[in-house]
Amino acid sequence: MECKQAVSFMHDYLDGDLPSEQARELKSHLDNCFECRAAFRRLEETEMMLFAANRKSEAVSVSDDMTDRIMSFLPQPKKHNPAWNWVRRHPALTAAAAFILIMLGTSINFWNADNQLVVRGSDLERVQVAGNTVIVPEGTTVSGDLTIERGKLEIYGEVEGNVTVIDGSAYQASTARVAGQVKDINQAFDWVWYKLGNIVSEVAYRQ
């Protein structure tokens, strides 16, 4: 065994993890090598001194009032709200829930944002508006769809597309003729479905 290898073994021995086979090799080397024997003795002494110098040698000790000081430093005990713990453990679900809440929140906000009448259609020139009432006069023909939000619709003439009334009412006179469907949406929930339906049909349409 080379002396360099022996020194490495000595350190492992002092660490307490030199396998017994290597320990025997080290011993037979030490029996034959005076230099290494001396080096080993010095290392052993150093190891002993290191533990001795540090063990219980600390006359300096932490201030007596340290515990009290630390306890007074501590922030007020955290209220470990179980709901909050749940949130911390399920970040993905929390994010999803927050997303849905925000979506619903904004939709509902839109739904009752104001009381203004909204009229949408492709042929609004033939439509009369009086207050919050929209009138399709007798004898006129509105081409395309007609959508009313937050208002009354009175149809005396013809509509060639679908009629949608959101949060309002529709009145059809006996002379009225609607080529498409008449939809009456009064609930926020319906309205959301209507919006979703629009998105879906738009997507479908684009494809």
Partner 1 sequence: MDNLETRLVKLALKGDQRAFAEIVDLYKDRIFHLAYRMLSNRHEAEDVVQETFLRVYRNLDRYDPGQKFSTWIYRIGTNLSIDRLRKRKPTYSLDAEIGDQDGADGYALIPGDNRTPETEYMISETRTTIHEAIDDLPPKYKTVMILRYLQELSLQEISDVLDMPVTTIKTRVHRGREFLRKKLESQNH
By the rule CB under 8 A, 67 interacts with partner 1: yes
Q: Which stretch binds partner 1 (CB under 8 A): 37-45, 132-140, 154-162, 185-193?
A: 37-45
CA angle 184, 190, 195 (to 5 degrees): 100
Exposed, middle or buried, 116 (CB in 10 Å: 0-12/13-18/19+)?
A: exposed
By the rule CB under 8 A, 69 interacts with partner 1: yes
Applying CB under 8 A, which of residues 23, 27, 32, 66 lies at the interface with partner 1? 66
By the rule CB under 8 A, 45 interacts with partner 1: yes
Q: Evaluate whether 122 touches 144 at the Cβ level (below 8 Å).
A: yes
By the rule CB under 8 A, 49 interacts with partner 1: yes
Applying CB under 8 A, which of residues 4, 70, 81, 114 lies at the interface with partner 1? 70
By the rule CB under 8 A, 102 interacts with partner 1: no
Applying CB under 8 A, which of residues 4, 51, 174, 203 lies at the interface with partner 1? 51
Contacting residues for 86 by C-beta, under 8 A, at least 6 apart: none
Q: Which stretch binds partner 1 (CB under 8 A): 22-30, 68-76, 117-125, 193-201?
A: 68-76
Looking at residues 148 to 177 of the shown chain, list those that interact with partner 1 (rule: CB under 8 A): none
Helices (H), the chain: 3-15, 20-32, 34-54, 66-73, 82-89, 91-111, 188-206
Which DSSP symbol is given to 60? Answer: -
CB of 78 to partner 1, least distance (A): 8
Helices 20-32 and 34-54: angle between axes, nearest 10 degrees? 120
Beta bridge partners of 70: none
By the rule CB under 8 A, 22 interacts with partner 1: no
Q: Evaluate whether 119 touches 150 at the Cβ level (below 8 Å).
A: no
Name the residue nearer to partner 1 (CB basis): 57 or 115. Answer: 57
Which residues make up the interface to partner 1 (CB under 8 A)?
Answer: 8, 11-12, 14-15, 17, 42-43, 45-47, 49-55, 57-63, 66-67, 69-71, 73-75, 77-78, 80
